[in-house]
Each structure stands twice: as structure tokens, then as C-alpha cells.
Amino acid sequence: MTLTALMTGDLRGNMSGPARPSFGTAQVERNGRLLSGLLSVALLLTVPLVGGCGSFGGFDSLGSGGGPLGKWFGKKDEVPPLNTDPAEVIYGQADQMADQGKFKEAARQYEEVDIAHPYSREARRAIIMASYSYYRAGQYDDAIASADRYLTLHPGTEEAAFAQDIIAKSYYDRILDPKRDQTFARRSLAAYEKLVQRYPSSEYAAEAANRIRILQDLIAASEMQVGRYYLRRSNYLAAINRFKTVVTEYQTTEQVEEALMRLTEAYMALGIVNEAQTAAAVLGHNFPDSKWYKHAYKLLGQRGLEPQQYQGSWITRAWKTRSWTGAGQT
């Protein structure tokens, strides 16, 4: 089966110019004498140029890249000739390349279909297959560009979900560990969320939902990594901002328990007792058996305090406004 089998379905003035200026008879005579003189000079300059053509390859060499004017005219044949083969022939050649694992060459050949026959029934399929081939070749930016183009031109087709999936995977495959920058993870998450939102019934939705959970936990882990770094260096405000991101944006991940305990720790260090007590109270109410709650409870106890939830706390507001799929929602 060729890669084309992946894609089922029948993919089908005003000419008047400004007024001329008028000249008198004397001016015309002066202009005539001036023009005659200029022509004489031009002829004198042309003779040595023609006579010396052999020394630099003739007039044809002026624009060949090797002549003296090549830097202005450019090289000959820089633009490859348009492929004159029928669309189905070019598309079939691309299929053969893809079947042989030559995905980079296949991608370019699929693009030839769209370039040479943009209105053919094969052109639409060729765009998405070029994207897929670029993805298989590891040329992720090209894969994303082709998929984006397909979604721009054909957003309502059955292959649109496939294009969105290619975009998400092209970012997903470049994700680094939590200790590194998570730009690709965030972009992949956004792409998968768009896929689930726009194409909930597609065959790619289930995998997208699973990867959304993985990506959310990965990004939350990265935020925790940075937050701990700031906390160890007593940069409490910077640490709080990182832990706050986990609580507000990634509340359904496993990282949220530690984030609440670290908020208790950071707020206690700053002397902001109400927020520290609220973080511990929310942690204890939702995860009473968590080791992180035991740490938070002990930390408050050292100051003669207990967990207590204050309604004016941002933690209380954030927890009430976020959906929670675990047990013990407040």
C-alpha cells in the first residue's frame, strides 16, 4: 500500500497618461542639436565595447554570472524549468519515492504537483503528503509549514485533522527533558489542544488527549524545577511565581501537591502567613495522605500555626475556578 492510501476520498484601466509639455521652435532646435551630440558620443562608446566582446565572452556573458555584469543580472537558469508531466505522473513518482523511504525527495516531488498543477485534483493531497514526508524525513519546520498551508487552504476537509496532528507531532518529537527549555513542549501542547477542540471525533483525538496529559505534567515538572532553583537561593518571589503557574495552569498534574507545599514554604519565609496557611489547607483537604501535606503541616507547626483556608487568597480563588478530576474538590 502506498502512502497515498492514507488519504482516502476524491480530492478534486485607464490608458491615458499625463499631458505632454509643449516646447517652442527655438527650444526644439536646441534639443535636436543636443540629441545629435549625445548619439555621436554613444556610438563612439559602443564601438570598443562591441570590438572587445570576445575578451569576455560576448553579450551573452553579461548575465551569465561570469561576465562583468553578472553580479547585477544573476546567473542563467537559476529557476528550474516547470515540470510539464501530468499531475498524476508527478504524484505517482512521489509515492514511489516515499515507498522507498526517500521522504525528503518525496516531499519535494509532492510539492512539484502543487507548483505545476495547482488546480488539479492531486494538488490538495500533495500538500498534506509533502507535510507528512517532511515529518518522516525529520524536517520538522518544513512539515509544519506545509501543514499550516494545508489548513489555511483546506480547513474543513477530512485531512485537516491529519495536518493538525503533524504539526503537534513535529513539536512533540523535539521535546527535551524537564531541565531544559520547554518551548517545543508548549507549542506541541497548544497544537494538540487545538486538535481536540476542532476535531474531537477524528481518529487522532484520543492520542492527542493522552499526550496533552503527558505534556502538561512535563511542563509542570519544568516549572517546579525552576521554582526549586529560586527557592534554594532564597529568591522567594520568583519561586512563588513558578509554583503559582503549576497551581493555576496545571492543577490536574502530579506536580500540584509539591507546588502547594512549596508555596507554604516560600510564604512562610516571607512572613505572609495567610497565604502559607491557605496553601497548606488546600493541600490537606485534597491530598490528606500526601507526604507533601505532612511537610507543610510540620512547617506551620514550628510557628504554632495550623492550616487554614482564607477566602481572599488567590489560591482559594484559583482552586475554585479550575476543573479538578481528582478526589476531594473544595
Q: Give the CATH number, domain containing residue 132.
A: 1.25.40.10
122-143: average pLDDT: 97
In the chain, the percentage of residues whose pLDDT exceeds 90 is 67
Give domain status of residue 214, yes or no.
Answer: no
So what's the pLDDT on residue 50?
43
Number of domains composing the chain: 2
Q: Which amino acid is at 58?
A: G
Which carries the bigger pLDDT value, residue 254 or residue 61?
A: 254
Predicted confidence band of residue 42 (pLDDT cuts 50, 70, 90):
very low
* Same domain membership, residue 246 and residue 166: no
The string over 136-164, giving b where at least 16 C-beta atoms fall within 10 Å of a residue's C-beta and e elsewhere, is bbebbebbbbbbebbbeebeebebbbbbb
Give domain status of residue 249, yes or no.
Answer: yes
| CA–CA gap between residue 81 and residue 208 (Å, rounded) | 42
Predicted confidence band of residue 13 (pLDDT cuts 50, 70, 90):
very low
So what's the pLDDT on residue 34?
43
Give domain status of residue 95, yes or no.
Answer: yes
Cell of 230: 529560586
Predicted confidence band of residue 319 (pLDDT cuts 50, 70, 90):
confident
Give the orientation angle of helix 140-153 with respect to helix 121-136, to 10 degrees.
150
Question: Which class for 304: exposed (0-12), middle (13-18), buried (19 or more C-beta within 10 A)?
Answer: exposed
Contacts 24+ apart (CB under 8 A), 302-311: 303/268, 303/273, 305/273, 305/276, 305/277, 306/277, 307/277, 307/280, 307/281, 307/283, 308/277, 308/278, 308/281, 309/277, 309/278, 309/281, 309/282, 309/285, 310/274, 310/275, 310/277, 310/278
Range in 244-248, 260-264, 315-319 the model is least confident about: 315-319
Asked if the model's pLDDT at residue 323 lies above 60, the reply is no
Asked if the model's pLDDT at residue 126 lies above 70, the reply is yes
Which carries the bigger pLDDT value, residue 321 or residue 297?
A: 297
In the chain, the percentage of residues whose pLDDT exceeds 70 is 72
Predicted confidence band of residue 78 (pLDDT cuts 50, 70, 90):
low
**Which residue bears the cell 561570469?**
66
Domain that holds residue 139: 84-174
- Rounded to two decimals, the pTM is 0.71
88-96: average pLDDT: 95
Predicted confidence band of residue 179 (pLDDT cuts 50, 70, 90):
confident
Predicted confidence band of residue 47 (pLDDT cuts 50, 70, 90):
very low
Q: State which of 140, 174, 208 marks the end of a domain.
A: 174
End-to-end CA, the chain: 54
Asked if the model's pLDDT at residue 28 lies above 70, the reply is no
Predicted confidence band of residue 29 (pLDDT cuts 50, 70, 90):
very low
So what's the pLDDT on residue 216?
96
Range in 34-43, 219-228, 309-318 the model is least confident about: 34-43
In the chain, alpha helices (H): 25-51, 53-56, 70-73, 87-99, 103-116, 121-136, 140-153, 160-172, 183-198, 205-232, 236-249, 256-270, 273-286, 291-301, 314-321
Q: State which of 131, 156, 174 marks the end of a domain.
A: 174
Asked if the model's pLDDT at residue 38 lies above 50, the reply is no
* Same domain membership, residue 163 and residue 88: yes
Which carries the bigger pLDDT value, residue 197 or residue 327?
A: 197
Number of alpha carbons in the 13 Å side-chain half-sphere of residue 85? 15
So what's the pLDDT on residue 192?
98
Give domain status of residue 211, yes or no.
Answer: no
Give domain status of residue 69, yes or no.
Answer: no
Q: DSSP letters along 29-60, please? A: HHHHHHHHHHHHHHHHHHHHHHHTHHHHT-GG
So what's the pLDDT on residue 229?
97
Q: Of the spans 44-53, 283-292, 311-320, which averages the highest pLDDT? A: 283-292
Asked if the model's pLDDT at residue 91 lies above 60, the reply is yes
Give domain status of residue 243, yes or no.
Answer: yes
DSSP state of 290: -
Q: State which of 150, 174, 198 marks the end of a domain.
A: 174
Give domain status of residue 8, yes or no.
Answer: no
Give domain status of residue 283, yes or no.
Answer: yes
Asked if the model's pLDDT at residue 223 lies above 80, the reply is yes
